[in-house]
């Protein structure tokens, strides 16, 4: 016979009153679950936020785009020695010119300095009393807008004169534009960047990436490539070259074409490995998926330990509760309570205890993640379904570790239970 709604609600009420009557013991019991869920929510939020930014930026490359770099995560994850990668020859705008002249499959070539390279080039921009968060400072050529999804909103882009004169001009991304000027027109205004005064000549359109991840993707400032080298000195010697294939040309054909041009330029024999990296959208996404999956599995392993400790704590405290309430169980059975009623009550208590720990962990974890975002502008993602999964999984932990104590309570003999002192 199934339990009626009234009986179920009564059992749940009794379970809650039992937990509330031992508040301190309940809090200490679920501490392991709170720690485990806090770790899961906070770290997962940061990983997912970063994943949105990285994936969005990778997809903005387009399926017809190749990126030529001195080295990248592709070489690092393949197990090559880092010092060997550092000693590779730098890429320059001369390399871009050679590719433009000799690679027949390439439609456009643009050069970029910075943008998350080694070391990263970042800084804040200031205008009167306003300042931005840490920005990506990227040096580019005049044809940079042909290389991706970045588009000009207002003003103009860099000219050959800007490049030759190393002009102190810049183009602001959408995020710093709003931070410094709000709804006011920024064109022609002077902002301070890394101790130098720059004139704003243009702003970029907001990129089609949603939420906090979109704000982070637009958190950049462009300067002429020649000026970038003036800003950062010798460390700015290495460039990244971005190429688009001619219409109808497969990306693999362009990759073979560019690889041949660069191997010839670097004087590599047929039996020598390439001393540069060529990245397509698919290859970069595949590498990033492997990295993010590895991070997530490590996170699951670490949080599982904390959840298991929390589950053992729930089991221990429920066994103590069964012992303390032996006479109560005997009285309830004598008054007609069935084994399933006792079993359900204790399972409800253990599940409620674990779910409360999970909810506390969600609140703390999301607060930590959002606090990191406010302090550092590091992208975070807080989807509602991750909270529901965390609380639901906590409840399952409570039920799993509560089965033994609940079954022990349900199997007590009513006569022996009534005699228990």
According to DSSP, residue 379 is labeled: -
H or E stretch covering 243: strand 240-245
Distance CA 225, CA 139 (A): 4
CA distance 355 to 339: 24
- Residue 15 has phi, psi (to 5 degrees) of -65, -45
Rounded CA separation 200/155 (Å): 9
Residue (of 153, 131, 242, 161) closest to 202 by Cα position: 153
Taking 70 as the pLDDT cut, the residues of the chain under it are 1-26, 54, 56-62, 115-120, 147-149, 208-217, 234-237, 377, 414-421
Q: Is residue 246 within 8 Å of residue 103, measured between CB atoms? A: no
pLDDT at site 213: 41
Range list of β-strands (E), 70-208: 106-114, 122-123, 125-127, 130-131, 135-140, 152-155, 169-172, 190-193, 196-204
- Residue 292: predicted pLDDT: 76
206 class by beta-carbon count within 10 Å (0-12 exposed, 13-18 middle, 19+ buried):
middle
Q: What is the pLDDT of residues 364-413, one digit of tens each?
A: 888 888 888 888 767 777 777 777 877 887 888 878 888 888 888 777 77
Residue spans of the domains in the chain: they are 5-53+290-419, 89-275
Dihedral sign for Cα atoms in the order 350, 356, 359, 363: negative
Say how far apart CA 331 and CA 324 lie, in whole Å.
13
Answer whether 292's CB lies under 8 Å from 82's CB: no
Residue 42 CB contacts under 8 Å (≥ 6 apart), including other chains: 364, 365, 366, 368, 369, 372
Q: How far is CA 292 from the centre of its chain?
A: 8
Measured CA to CA, the distance from residue 363 to residue 360 in angstroms comes to 5
Write down the pLDDT at residue 190.
94
Could you give the count of Cα atoms lying within 13 Å of 28 in the half-sphere of its Cβ? 7
- Residue 163, Ramachandran bin (φ over 0: left; ψ between -120 and 50: alpha; else beta): alpha
Can you say whether the dihedral through the CA atoms of 262, 264, 270, 271 is positive or negative?
negative
CA–CA gap between residue 148 and residue 110 (Å, rounded): 10
Residue 63 to residue 191: CA distance in whole angstroms: 36
CA dihedral 212, 279, 88, 232 (to 10 degrees): -30
The pTM for the full model equals 0.58
Provide the CB-side half-sphere exposure for 401 (13 A, CA).
27
What pLDDT is attached to residue 158? Answer: 92
Q: Which helix (H) or strand (E) holds 101?
A: helix 93-102
CB 93 within 8 A of CB 141: yes
374 and 384 in contact (C-beta within 8 Å)?
no
**Per-residue pLDDT tens over the stretch 75-125:** 777 777 777 778 888 888 888 889 988 888 888 888 888 765 555 578 889
CA–CA gap between residue 409 and residue 18 (Å, rounded): 15
Do 261 and 99 contact (CB within 8 A), yes or no?
Answer: yes
Residue 220's SS3 state is strand
Query: What is the CA 246 to chain-centroid distance, rounded?
Result: 34
């Amino acid at each position: 016979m199934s339990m009626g709604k009234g009986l179920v609600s009564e059992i749940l009420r009794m379970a809650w009153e039992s937990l509330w009557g031992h508040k301190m013991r309940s809090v200490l019991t679920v501490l392991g679950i709170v720690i485990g869920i806090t770790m899961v929510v906070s770290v997962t939020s940061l990983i997912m936020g970063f994943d949105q930014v990285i994936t969005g930026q990778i997809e903005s490359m387009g399926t017809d785009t190749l990126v030529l770099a001195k080295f990248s995560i592709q070489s690092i994850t393949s197990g090559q020695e880092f010092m060997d990668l550092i000693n590779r020859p730098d890429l320059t705008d001369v390399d871009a010119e050679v590719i433009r002249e000799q690679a027949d499959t390439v439609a456009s070539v643009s050069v970029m300095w910075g943008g998350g390279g080694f070391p990263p080039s970042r800084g804040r921009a200031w205008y009167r009393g306003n300042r931005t968060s840490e920005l990506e400072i990227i040096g580019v050529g005049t044809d940079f807008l042909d290389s991706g999804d970045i588009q000009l909103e207002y003003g103009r882009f860099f000219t050959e004169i800007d490049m030759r004169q190393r002009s102190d001009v810049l183009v602001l991304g959408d995020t710093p534009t709003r931070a410094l000027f709000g709804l006011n027109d920024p064109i022609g205004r002077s902002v301070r960047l890394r101790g130098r005064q720059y004139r704003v000549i243009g702003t970029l359109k907001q990129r089609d990436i949603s939420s906090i991840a979109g704000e982070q993707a637009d958190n950049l400032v462009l300067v002429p490539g020649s000026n970038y080298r003036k800003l950062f000195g010798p460390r700015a010697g290495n460039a990244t070259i971005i190429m688009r294939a001619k219409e109808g040309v497969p990306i693999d054909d362009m990759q073979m074409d560019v690889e041949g041009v660069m191997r010839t330029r670097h004087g590599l024999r047929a039996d020598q490995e390439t001393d540069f990296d060529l990245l397509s959208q698919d290859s970069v996404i595949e590498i990033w998926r492997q990295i993010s999956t590895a991070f997530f599995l490590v996170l699951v392993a670490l949080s599982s330990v904390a959840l298991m400790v929390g589950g053992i704590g729930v089991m221990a405290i429920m066994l103590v509760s069964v012992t303390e309430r032996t006479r109560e169980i005997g009285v309830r059975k004598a008054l007609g309570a069935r084994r399933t009623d006792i079993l359900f009550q204790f399972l409800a208590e253990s599940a409620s205890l674990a779910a409360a720990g999970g909810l506390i962990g969600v609140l703390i974890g999301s607060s930590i993640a959002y606090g990191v975002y406010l302090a550092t502008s590091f992208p975070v993602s807080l989807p509602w379904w991750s909270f529901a999964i965390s609380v639901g999984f906590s409840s399952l932990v409570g039920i799993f570790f509560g089965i033994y104590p609940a079954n022990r309570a349900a199997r007590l003999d009513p006569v022996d239970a009534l005699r228990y002192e």
